[in-house]
Amino acid sequence: MNTKQLFVFGASVLAVAFGGGAVAQQTNGQYIQVAEIEIDPAQLEAYRAAVQEQIEAAIRVEPGVLVLYAVSDKDNPARVKVFEIYRDVDAYRSHLASEHFKKYKATTEKMVKSLKLVQTAPIMLGAKSK
């Protein structure tokens, strides 16, 4: 899945989460970024387990975390992208300070070969609910 497809997918799920038929989501004040991560291929399964645990916890306990999607490159599964939408920059900062995120960072420190955070500006997030 390329970055454009990731954005469309993320926008679709976000729109569905907010209900309705066809939805155009306003993004005023939201903090949105894509994390581009290169994982040590020998540790890929352990990384997947750690990121799954972290995302599940963040979505469950952090009201300011709106969307977290982790996907891997079909041809190179060690290339991971995480699409992130937070209520605002304070929600993002709160996420970084959370215990589950700190645990994820400590657990994956030696698994991650590179990390690039790409701040984004949404043009439009929209999708059909069904």
Structure confidence by residue, pLDDT tens digits, 18-38: 433 333 455 678 999 999 999
For residue 88, give the CATH number of its domain.
3.30.70.100
Which pLDDT score, from 0 to 100, does residue 28 have?
A: 72
Tell whether 129 is covered by a domain. no
Cα-based distances in Å from 33 to 13, 58, 94, 106, 122? 16, 16, 15, 21, 10
Residues 6+ away with beta carbon under 8 Å from 104: 50, 51, 53, 54
Range of the domain at 106: 3-124
Which pLDDT score, from 0 to 100, does residue 128 have?
A: 77
Count of structural domains, the chain: 1
Query: What does the alpha-carbon distance between residue 80 and residue 115 come to, in Å, rounded to a whole number?
Result: 10
Tell whether 38 is covered by a domain. yes
Tell whether 74 is covered by a domain. yes
Collapsing DSSP states into helix, strand and coil, what is residue 99? helix
Average of per-residue pLDDT values in the chain: 84
H/E run at residue 89: helix 89-97
Which pLDDT score, from 0 to 100, does residue 125 have?
A: 73
Helices 89-97/99-108 angle, 10° precision = 60
Collapsing DSSP states into helix, strand and coil, what is residue 82? strand
Tell whether 25 is covered by a domain. yes
Tell whether 83 is covered by a domain. yes
Collapsing DSSP states into helix, strand and coil, what is residue 12? helix
Tell whether 130 is covered by a domain. no
Tell whether 115 is covered by a domain. yes
